Structure 1
């Protein structure tokens, strides 16, 4: 019984170790896998965690600054050298050399609590908090870009699969045409030239199949790498995109989209950050005030001495005032530049949103045109097949009709994929 359980666990482990792509993934599953495993997004999260640690580090500046030091020394001669005159009755004054402090040890601990530091600590903490918020916005921006790229790869694969299905349908039609032409050649009704035309068309279709299959393999590899799954055996659950939803349900106003865009919020955070930088620069030229306490110990003359002390200190950066006005003006210029960049970002993002919406509408209109082309090409192929079978149309007309049918189907597939891709881009540029 125990051996059987062990075997069951081993089989279960092997099943779990199978490539994630062994089971076809839907679009939502690909998106979820990309959010969890994409390396670019993972790097963005690392940057966010680093910014969070910077914010926590800045908060520690409110705490007292504690330092400890100590040492020992051995001098060749005493550090204190002096001559003392010693007067002895009946002997007069004698000069007595004195040498002290030849060796010793010392140590101490100091703690300084800043009371006022020109608001550098306060503004430094606010700046660090802005840095953390910027990191979060960068994660959101990267996640939207990863999602868009995931959709692009996914619909590219679906498009290539649709083209393969079209090629398979064309191959079946050409096989039937080849069979009919071969019978006509055997009966002496047509020359072998018609048969060669059909075979050339079959070779052309076979060449297209090879290109599509290679493109499909590369697209699968790119998507598997993008979402962080094993590419061997990876595949997607192909979705039908021949009847896409009209784009009107996805429309949002430009103003609403701008408020959602991480890029615009990053531009606003840059203005805020430059404002705090200016305040920090101003604080560098203000006095700093602090209080402290300490403990000292030393032994210089073979006697232990320890003592505590409290103190207050004021530091005025007088020499920094010389260039401080220019540094402060530079900080003000950077703030104005950040505000100008914010306004420019708003204008450019508005243009991008409008442009992308136009592309979505255009892509949807292309689907309608391509669908009508498919209907026309299908009817044209049906009529030319009937005419050929009735002997009222040459083979070239039938092959031309088949070529137009293939092109119209491929154009329709490409239009559907382009619409899905442009729609994914529109969702990104509108902050969704």
Structure 2
């Protein structure tokens, strides 16, 4: 009986342990990373909130067309009557008699008014146009942020692929060094070489181990950065296996500079800034114009124990006379700000043109570097093979063999860097051309 209970308890414990499974790993490809970044990136989320704020501002500005309704009311209780007076009465046989009079000791009042603005110096119209412009700016800012997030996603992704390629190179180098060490150990036992050669191989192996540790730590950090960027849990996040493949010719991606400028969110934002300053100038001018409105109201009061209510209609005109004194200077300042915005627009167009052309040059340079790096890998591979054969035949020194191995590792790393630079520069060029 006791044995059966122990078996049952053991089975229950095993079932409980099997039920506790670690969180499923999240392995994403490049396209999946892009999609996750669009959905979960915190910078993009903040940009969407800013757009929603601009939308609410536009809706708030539209309410300025509606009548302005106010209501007020109150009651009071005074210690003495608010109206104090003495009346002289002439009575027969008494002559003139003075009688004090005290009125309005308590009361209640209330009113409701509605004023419809007919003309407000175009401040309402221009304010609504400015609010709509703010919403357009918010959309352009969101589009700009989306391009930046996509570019950063690609940069992190290809950086991870690059580090993995570097680790693969270190694996290949480690295998080669293991074979070289085996040959050196045989030569040491045979008395052909001294143990100094073996120490040199060990030093090279330790250097490779140190480089591996640095690469693995860098891979972990970049993976964490990409996980945070796409809104994933870095503890279970990983990038799907990917290769650079055969880099395609970048010529089909080229866009003329003038065409690309018209698609850049940054340039469109500069244009919107000029337009906004124009509305600001009109708003400044409107502050010095009269405002006209019509209204209606309802008034109720009870001051002498009698309810009195009445309706009324009215018109009002307000002229800001004192604002005219400094108005000319404020209007001139607004026009100068408008000119400054136009100057910034022209400067933005010129600098963006330089950025687009520079990004295209970087793409072409990175593509050309791949061909050069590929030839270097072929040459270093053949050089390593020949030195390995020469060393086995005893016609080459260990120093020459280790130098050939170093050149081979360096050429492969340069090939990896060139491929990564091409992918990231192409992503940057797509962003700066507004795609």
User: What is aligned with 2:12?
Assistant: none
TM-score normalised by structure 2 residue count: 0.94
CA distance in 2, matches of 1:272, 1:85: 74
Q: Deviation at 1:93?
A: 2.3
User: What is aligned with 1:411?
Assistant: 414
1:124-273 equivalent positions in 2, closer than 5 A: 124-273=127-276
User: What is aligned with 1:34?
Assistant: 37
Task: Find the residue that maps to 2:88 and give its secondary structure.
Answer: strand
User: What is aligned with 1:5?
Assistant: none
CA distance in 1, matches of 2:245, 2:385: 22
Over 4 Å off, 4+ runs:
none
Task: Find the residue that maps to 1:112 and give its secondary structure.
Answer: strand
CA distance in 2, matches of 1:358, 1:89: 117
Q: Deviation at 1:304?
A: 0.8
Q: Deviation at 1:242?
A: 4.2
1:244-323 equivalent positions in 2, closer than 5 A: 244-323=247-326
Q: Deviation at 1:180?
A: 1.6
User: What is aligned with 2:121?
Assistant: 118
TM-score normalised by structure 1 residue count: 0.94
Match of 2:394 among 386, 391, 396: 391
Task: Note if contact 2:51-2:135 (Cα within 8 Å) is conserved in structure 1.
Answer: yes
Structure 2 residue 68 is matched with structure 1 residue 65: yes
- Structure 1 residue runs without a partner (length 5+): 1-9
Task: Note if contact 2:126-2:279 (Cα within 8 Å) is conserved in structure 1.
Answer: yes
Q: RMSD across aligned C-alpha pairs, in angstroms?
A: 1.5
Q: Deviation at 1:418?
A: 1.0
CA distance in 1, matches of 2:241, 2:261: 34
CA distance in 1, matches of 2:180, 2:54: 68
The count of residues paired between Structure 1 and Structure 2 equals 418
User: What is aligned with 1:349?
Assistant: 352
- Could you report, residue by residue, the CA deviation over 1:317-360 in whole angstroms, capped at 9, with x for unpaired residues? 11111111111111111111111110010011011111111111
Task: Note if contact 2:23-2:236 (Cα within 8 Å) is conserved in structure 1.
Answer: no
CA distance in 1, matches of 2:236, 2:399: 42
- Could you report, residue by residue, the CA deviation over 1:96-127 in whole angstroms, capped at 9, with x for unpaired residues? 21111111111111110101111100000000
User: What is aligned with 2:23?
Assistant: 18
Match of 2:365 among 347, 362, 375: 362
Higher mean C-alpha displacement, 42-51 vs 401-410: 42-51
Structure 2 residue 129 is matched with structure 1 residue 106: no
CA distance in 1, matches of 2:99, 2:347: 85
CA distance in 1, matches of 2:90, 2:41: 91
CA distance in 2, matches of 1:338, 1:14: 62
Structure 2 residue 398 is matched with structure 1 residue 373: no
Task: Note if contact 2:295-2:315 (Cα within 8 Å) is conserved in structure 1.
Answer: yes
Q: Deviation at 1:249?
A: 1.3
User: What is aligned with 1:88?
Assistant: 91
- Could you report, residue by residue, the CA deviation over 1:225-275 in whole angstroms, capped at 9, with x for unpaired residues? 111100013110132114211111111011111111110000000001000
CA distance in 2, matches of 1:203, 1:14: 40
User: What is aligned with 2:55?
Assistant: 52
Task: Find the residue that maps to 2:27 and give its secondary structure.
Answer: coil
- Structure 2 residue runs without a partner (length 5+): 1-15
Task: Find the residue that maps to 1:86 and give its secondary structure.
Answer: strand
CA distance in 1, matches of 2:254, 2:323: 55
CA distance in 2, matches of 1:395, 1:319: 94
User: What is aligned with 1:400?
Assistant: 403
Structure 2 residue 340 is matched with structure 1 residue 337: yes
- Could you report, residue by residue, the CA deviation over 1:387-417 in whole angstroms, capped at 9, with x for unpaired residues? 1112211111111100000000001101111
